[in-house]
A and B are shown apart, each in its own frame.
Chain A
Amino acid sequence: MSEEKRRPTPEEKAQAAAEARAKAEALRKLREQEEQGAEAAPPAQEEAQAQAADSQEEVAPVAKPVSEMTPEEKAAAKKAAAAEAIAKAKAAKEAKESAQQGDGASSAEGADAEAKAKAAAAAKAKAAAAAAAKAKAEREAGGSPADGGDDDAKAKAAAAAKAKAAAAAAAKAKAAQATGDGAEAAETPKAPSKNQPYLDKYVLRITEKFGKEVLEASYINELAKEVPTLVIQNERWHEIAQFLKEDGQLAFEYLSDLHGVDYEDRMEVYYHLYSYKNRQSLAVKVKTSREQSSVPSVMDVWNGANWNERETFDLLGIHFPGHKDLRRILLPDDWVGYPLRKDYVQYDEEV
């Protein structure tokens, strides 16, 4: 897309990008019109086009006088352009999705099940494979990415067991996954984890001091070497962090890792703490919304959180109120957008 590769000043970058985008937009419009001529476009596409046209109008005044703008205006223009890019991507996605809906079950899950079904068919009769695919789809629907909690894991395990029974004929094709899930299902009701007493202790200490409502969930994470995991209320996180570090019984004086995860419906910040005194690990998760994501900074509790919070802000756009110097760390200061967000659209087309 990049025609000009001269000096990469921000103004030129912005202008070049805007021009390129306008051109691409025009091309796309042309193509869409052609398509419309060939066959009746689905309504979603029309909508997308309308939206795209809207955003093009928006961008037109931005593209021209960019060299005369003040820095604030430039920043605003950049933001607008980024927002527009996201809107465009969304519209495109919607159009695509609605087009796909016509085909029936061609979603990712369907494709997955199809692949599985194919594998089964090689070994077994086609009827059995179809049953397996159905069961698999059911199972996946049951274990859809909703909550990272214990209940979810249990529900998933149960669904997996059901699917296993239904798809006994196709067991061979699914052996790999089934054993993984099966083992997990078998373990859960068996012996409680060796870390369960520690988890109980942490929960007790925290609820004694702060009340029950500060803990949104607490469980043993079987997948992470059975680390006790707490999900803590966003608003109270800072004081609890202080408590976790300073309480004589907990003494989590070491912050091993801090990072964020974008789950599309929410953001989560994950902390891995360690107590050298008690030789115990603890994982903490704090949830926040995607639109106004903010999690209290714990930089004054553990100094090691400083750069990690900056990195999380840089790549995911999570704000950490209380941080003394929250600015980008890996990307340039004038970067637009947060790359690790799932809906990130690259703004600068020259990169």
Chain B
Amino acid sequence: MNQNILTTSVDTSSENGIRTEEMLLNVGPQHPSTHGVFRLVVKIDGETIKEAIPVMGYLHRGTEKLAENLNYTQIIPYTDRMDYVSAMTNNYVLCHAVETMMGLEIPERAQFLRLIAMELNRVASHLVWWGTYLLDIGAMGPFLYAFRDREMILDLFNELCGARMTFNYMRIGGVKWDAPPGWVDKAKEFVQYMKKELNNYHQLVSGNEIFISRIKGIGKFDTSTALDYSLSGVMLRATGVKWDLRKDEPYCIYDRFDFDVPTATEGDCMARYQVRMAEIEQSLRILEQALEQFPSEGEVIGKVPRVIRPPAGETYVRIESPRGEIGCYIASQGKDKPWRLKFRRPSFTNLQILPTLLQGESLANMIVILGSIDIVLGEVDC
């Protein structure tokens, strides 16, 4: 794969007579800090990165091709495997696209269950990011705390839909399973617990001198660059754009709840760290309200035709996943299978800026920058 993407040069004619040589370094495909199979070919001159070329596709399973031979309900489990850290939002975006085409009504209780599931998943996803990012930088402890607390969310999901990560929970028109008795109270308990824990996280890491000096001013870019590179989510908000699809193009029932869209202006790794941590707080805020207002009874799936056939035409919807803007395009010909299905994956699009960010950087900052983008390779490769 890509044999001739980079060439190195040897310089023997330097002034002081020292022979310098550029070197090619392969980071990955099996590298613990890429959190998946992702390869970066970097050309280094000493400690400085001259050029970096991302090589991906190791996890490409052809989801979009497979989907053309599946009916809409059958595609849902495939979406779990794209962004496997936040499968609920993937479930939702597909269902949302089909529902938009068919103009389906979603019952109140199902809306709440979806929203609660998505927000819990956002917290879980950010916890994974927080733990592994610090692990990449060299702090072991936070990883253990983060995964301990994330496990509680996964247990909640396990009770809700019988799976810890690949949920297959949502259906076109609603959700598959109702919350078991006592589940809402457990979730409420967790939210209170997590609020306290979040303070501990900040105490442990956020003010740490070493940590701050490690990530401050690294991987910096401004708003116009972010827009030019189609960045979304935290990557965009960390440059000062107050933009969150939950607020600005409301879907599900997000418009019923009070929450802020955290932003930062510096656009560096520190800013992205701060925005993500603040987002956990906001998600907990949404969860608190949603669990309080959770309807005591009702249907969890609406009136949906037995065979789902969206009308002929095309649709594109986008929602806010923990990683940014996840979109789903469907071209339908009125059949029970999509003619073409395309996912706009935030990890894939956000990763585009990496070569630009790495150019001229020190090699030691490479993982710090890569980690701050927060990619999931299952989604990059789709």
Contact = CB atoms under 8 A, between A and B. Distances in A.
B230 A255 contact: yes
B254 to A, nearest CB: 15
Contacts of A256: 230, 232, 318, 325, 327, 344
A327 B2 CA distance: 10
Nearest to B225: A303
B92 to A, nearest CB: 15
B230 A145 contact: no
Interface in B224-241: 224, 227-232, 241
B313 interface: yes
Given A223-B313, A315-B64, A143 B344 contact: no
Interface stretch (B39-47, B153-161, B331-339): B331-339
A145 B333 contact: yes
B64 A340 contact: yes
A153 B230 CA distance: 32
Interface string A258-279: 0101110000001010001001
A262 B331 CA distance: 10
Nearest to B308: A176
Contacts of B231: 304
Contacts of A227: 316
Output the residue of B232, B316, B349 with the most chain A CB within 10 A. B316
Given A331-B57, A333-B1, A156 B312 contact: yes
Contacts of B312: 143, 145, 156
Given A304-B352, A340-B64, A180 B1 contact: no
Output the residue of A143, A276, A283, A305 with the most chain B CB within 10 A. A276
A222 to B, nearest CB: 8
B192 interface: no
B57 A224 contact: no
A253 B339 CA distance: 30
Nearest to A301: B228
Interface string A238-259: 0000000000000001111101
B102 interface: yes
A207 interface: no
Given A307-B349, A308-B349, A224 B64 contact: no
B60 to A, nearest CB: 4
A304 B229 contact: yes
Given A148-B313, A254-B227, A329 B57 contact: yes
A15 interface: no
B381 interface: yes
Given A148-B314, A180-B103, A223-B315, A333 B228 contact: no
B211 interface: no
B101 interface: yes
B309 to A, nearest CB: 6
A213 to B, nearest CB: 24
Given A180-B102, A256-B325, A259-B342, A221 B315 contact: yes
Contacts of A272: 316, 318, 327, 329, 344
Output the residue of A224, A263, A328 with the most chain B CB within 10 A. A224
B263 to A, nearest CB: 13
Given A180-B103, A257-B329, A261-B339, A221 B313 contact: yes
Contact of A330 (B60, B311, B349): B60
Interface in A274-318: 276, 279, 283, 302-308, 311, 315
Given A259-B329, A331-B57, A276 B227 contact: yes
A10 to B, nearest CB: 11
A224 B317 contact: yes
Interface in B1-44: 1-3
Contacts of B348: 307, 311
Given A261-B331, A329-B56, A184 B311 contact: yes
Contacts of A262: 340
A339 interface: yes
A329 B5 CA distance: 12
B interface bracket (residues with beta carbon within 8 Å of A): 35 or more
Is chain A's binding surface mostly helix, strand, loop or mixed? mixed
A interface bracket (residues with beta carbon within 8 Å of B): 35 or more
A222 B344 CA distance: 20
B209 interface: no
Contacts of A276: 227, 241, 243
Interface string A56-99: 00000000000000000000000000000000000000000000
Contact of B381 (A222, A223, A330, A340): A330
Given A145-B333, A180-B103, A329-B56, A340 B227 contact: no
A306 B231 CA distance: 13
Contacts of B381: 330
A304 B230 contact: yes
Interface in B337-382: 339-340, 342, 344, 348-349, 351-352, 381-382
Interface string B98-111: 00111100000000
A189 interface: no
A304 B101 CA distance: 27
Nearest to A285: B314
12 contacts: A145-B312, A148-B313, A183-B103, A222-B313, A223-B314, A253-B224, A256-B230, A261-B331, A261-B340, A276-B241, A302-B230, A303-B352
Given A257-B318, A302-B230, A329-B56, 7 more contacts: A184-B311, A253-B228, A256-B230, A257-B316, A262-B340, A272-B327, A303-B230
Interface of B: 1-3, 56-57, 60, 62, 64-65, 100-103, 224, 227-232, 241, 243, 248, 305-307, 309-318, 325, 327, 329, 331, 333-334, 339-340, 342, 344, 348-349, 351-352, 381-382
**When A and B form their complex, which 7 residue pairs have the shortest distance between CB atoms, in order from nearest?**
A304-B230, A176-B305, A330-B57, A224-B315, A257-B344, A223-B313, A330-B60
Interface of A: 140, 143, 145, 148, 153, 156, 176-177, 180-181, 183-184, 221-225, 227, 253-257, 259, 261-263, 270, 272, 276, 279, 283, 302-308, 311, 315, 327-333, 339-340
